[in-house]
A = this chain, B = another copy of it.
Amino acid sequence: MPKLLARYFPIFDWGKEYSKDHLIADGTAALIVTIMLIPQSLAYALLAGLPPEVGLYASIAPLVLYAIFGTSRTLAVGPVAVVSLMTATATSMIAEPGTIGYIETAIALAMLSGVFLTVMGLFRLGFIANFLSHPVMTGFITASGILIAISQLKHILGVPMTGHNLPEQLVSLIEKIDEINTPTLLIGVGSILFLIFVRNGLRSLLIKVGLSKKIADLIVKAGPVFAVAITIILTSALALEGRNVDIVGLVPQGLPNLQTPNLNLSLIRELSTAALLISLVGFVESISVAQTLAAKRRQQISPNQELIALGMSNIGSSVSGGYPVTGGFARSVVNFDAGAQTPAAGGLTAVGIALATLYLTPLLYFLPKATLAATIIIAVLSLVKVKPIIETWQYSKGDFFAMALTIILTLLIGVEIGIVAGVVASFILFMYRTTVPHYAVVGQVSGTEHFRNVKRHKVITDPRVISVRIDESLYFSNIRYLENAINNLVAAHPECEHIILMCSAVNLIDTSALESLEAINDRLKETNIKLHLSEVKGPVSDRLAHTHFLQNLTGNVYLSQYEAYKALTAEKTAP
């Protein structure tokens, strides 16, 4: 029982060794992450079309719950860009942005996504996430980055943008191009330039003026906070809200009330595809960050427990008025680099955000949305990567096709269609690749017990005995190809009396393959050819033991290919 407890509640594992040193390290990391997370959570809420406090709420309870259930020592959960975009897409299909219904839908989406993740974790269904192949994920993240950056142009330019897909949105933006709000544009572009400078030039400058690397790093990380502070002061001092600069406005002070999300059957049906996709994309992103960081300290991650931890985080987000969350890359790296030792750092970050929600929100009144948009644009530009796309093109045209399809459909139609099309394309590609099983007709290497491909090596063969080495497990997807190959071999070799299937690489024979083998056996029998097996692996052999196929097999099962070949060619010398 304690073992089971530690499996589902990893906090009992690291908690019992928790020391003062841990607390100091975790506290320092939490402070840095908190400073980074405040503007991020406001900005991603904006991206999701939600009021800023929803972003803050999503950065409290989920962090505490991940600290209890998570297996990564350093993963930092909370709102992230891609999931926020997906939330915006799914939610705006159902409710009008800016309404209470919209917020309630986003909260319901977090609950649904949390339940999906938890159930997948409990039933060990993490393998479903494998369906999102790397090329599809890379394409999807890149396209999402572009979509997000463009979606923020409306805040930078200060003009409304409408439409449900990128072409529509761009057209609506161009139509309003003469309505650009100059103060907004100045704040937006100014913030972008400032953030670019912070990213690329500030650190070396600070070190040059004598600051330690650590302090310099910290200041760089706090860059968005400076942008926020400066533009708040500017807007307030110049009364820019009177000149139509869109500001955050009143953010409710205080901790969120706990609530049950408003989920009914019809809403569940409408949201479930989106919730599933958000769960899977979030999980894949999160687990890869977690594994990368864990490997650096030789720690272990349990994928199924991660599903449960992310599930609980999302459920927690939902009941405390937040929206879907997952582990974020940049934030986790900062947490790791800042020296976080245990998930307690996440818990302490939650305390930091809670304090900010209690005491700092009045200061955010004059924060221009353009500043937040600028931080989003700078953050997501790192998601857009061209090099992996080129490398995929060079390595595999098929995988590139799946990636390109994902990018194009995500950009032109939307995130859900894009990712689903990518998954379907990689499925079909996979099936196509697995429909052609590798096999080789083999012959004996003279003087040895080895058998090699007759096309590549000089080997001994006997026209009466054909040996076929099968290089894959046999499934419904590839068995028909083999069936056909054997038919053709027989038609081409009129002297053939025996066929040996060398099964050294066969790990599994499914029902379809078993039935096809029976059909092959029956057909060969009609033409007086015996079918034999050699080198069948233990588990495969066990399953075949009581089947019709083995009972009706015209030939024998040999332990080794050499034994089979020797016995069958020896037969020949008789009469």
CB within 8 Å of B: which residues of A?
127, 129-135, 288, 291-292, 294-296, 298-301, 303, 388, 391-392, 394-396, 399-400, 426-427, 430-436, 438, 471-473, 475-481, 483-484, 487-488, 490-491, 494, 505, 507-508, 510-512, 514-516, 519, 522-524, 526-527, 543, 546-548
Pairs across A and B, CB under 8 Å, 8 listed: A134-B476, A292-B523, A296-B526, A394-B546, A396-B511, A399-B510, A433-B475, A438-B507
- Contact in complex: B295, A527 (CB < 8 Å): yes
Q: A127-B436, A298-B527 are in contact. List 18 more A-B contacts (CB 8 A).
A: A127-B435, A127-B477, A127-B481, A130-B480, A133-B510, A134-B515, A294-B487, A295-B523, A295-B526, A296-B526, A298-B491, A300-B488, A388-B515, A396-B543, A430-B477, A433-B510, A434-B434, A471-B505
Which of A436, A487, A548 has the most chain B CB atoms inside 10 A of its CB? A487
Q: Closest CB of chain B to A428's CB: distance in Å?
A: 9
Number of identical protomers:
2
- Contact in complex: A135, B512 (CB < 8 Å): yes
| 7 closest residue pairs by CB, A with B | A133-B476, A295-B523, A134-B512, A399-B511, A127-B435, A133-B512, A296-B526
Assess A431 versus B127: contact at CB under 8 Å? Given A133-B512, A516-B134: yes
- Chain B residue with minimal CB distance to A544? B395
Q: Closest CB of chain B to A427's CB: distance in Å?
A: 7
User: Of B400, B523, B548, which one neighbours A291 at CB under 8 angstroms?
Assistant: B523
- Chain B residue with minimal CB distance to A478? B130
Which residues on the B side are within 8 Å of A479 (C-beta)?
Answer: 130
User: Of B130, B394, B481, which one neighbours A477 at CB under 8 angstroms?
Assistant: B130
Which residues on the B side are within 8 Å of A395 (C-beta)?
Answer: 511, 514, 543, 547
Q: Closest CB of chain B to A520's CB: distance in Å?
A: 9
Q: Closest CB of chain B to A530's CB: distance in Å?
A: 14
Q: Closest CB of chain B to A408's CB: distance in Å?
A: 18
- When chains A and B are docked, how far (Å) is the Cα of A135 from the Cα of B511? 7
- Contact in complex: A431, B480 (CB < 8 Å): no
- Chain B residue with minimal CB distance to A527? B298
Q: Closest CB of chain B to A343's CB: distance in Å?
A: 18
- When chains A and B are docked, how far (Å) is the Cα of A547 from the Cα of B472? 25
- Contact in complex: A527, B296 (CB < 8 Å): yes
User: Of B294, B430, B487, B546, which one neighbours A476 at CB under 8 angstroms?
Assistant: B430
- When chains A and B are docked, how far (Å) is the Cα of A427 from the Cα of B431? 9
Interface residues of A, dominant DSSP: helix
- Contact in complex: B480, A519 (CB < 8 Å): no
Which residues on the B side are within 8 Å of A132 (C-beta)?
Answer: 476
- Chain B residue with minimal CB distance to A508? B433
Which residues on the B side are within 8 Å of A303 (C-beta)?
Answer: 480, 484
- Chain B residue with minimal CB distance to A524? B295
Q: Closest CB of chain B to A260's CB: distance in Å?
A: 33
- Chain B residue with minimal CB distance to A504? B505
Which residues on the B side are within 8 Å of A391 (C-beta)?
Answer: 547-548
Q: Closest CB of chain B to A151's CB: distance in Å?
A: 28
Q: Closest CB of chain B to A299's CB: distance in Å?
A: 7
Which of A436, A471, A522, A547 has the most chain B CB atoms inside 10 A of its CB? A471
Q: Closest CB of chain B to A516's CB: distance in Å?
A: 7
Which residues on the B side are within 8 Å of A494 (C-beta)?
Answer: 298
- When chains A and B are docked, how far (Å) is the Cα of A260 from the Cα of B552? 51
User: Of B296, B472, B484, B527, which one neighbours A507 at CB under 8 angstroms?
Assistant: B472
- Chain B residue with minimal CB distance to A395? B511
User: Of B396, B478, B487, B488, which one neighbours A510 at CB under 8 angstroms?
Assistant: B396
Assess A431 versus B131: contact at CB under 8 Å? Given A298-B494, A391-B547, A395-B547: yes
- When chains A and B are docked, how far (Å) is the Cα of A132 from the Cα of B438? 21
User: Of B135, B296, B388, B477, which one neighbours A523 at CB under 8 angstroms?
Assistant: B296
- Contact in complex: A130, B476 (CB < 8 Å): yes
- Contact in complex: A432, B487 (CB < 8 Å): no
- Contact in complex: A491, B299 (CB < 8 Å): yes
- Chain B residue with minimal CB distance to A135? B511
- Chain B residue with minimal CB distance to A127? B435
- Contact in complex: B490, A298 (CB < 8 Å): yes
Which residues on the B side are within 8 Å of A471 (C-beta)?
Answer: 505, 507
- When chains A and B are docked, how far (Å) is the Cα of A209 from the Cα of B483? 44
- When chains A and B are docked, how far (Å) is the Cα of A480 from the Cα of B524? 41
Which residues on the B side are within 8 Å of A129 (C-beta)?
Answer: 480
Which residues on the B side are within 8 Å of A394 (C-beta)?
Answer: 546
Q: Closest CB of chain B to A522's CB: distance in Å?
A: 8
Which residues on the B side are within 8 Å of A388 (C-beta)?
Answer: 515
- Contact in complex: A430, B475 (CB < 8 Å): yes
- When chains A and B are docked, how far (Å) is the Cα of A113 from the Cα of B475? 27
Q: Closest CB of chain B to A346's CB: distance in Å?
A: 21
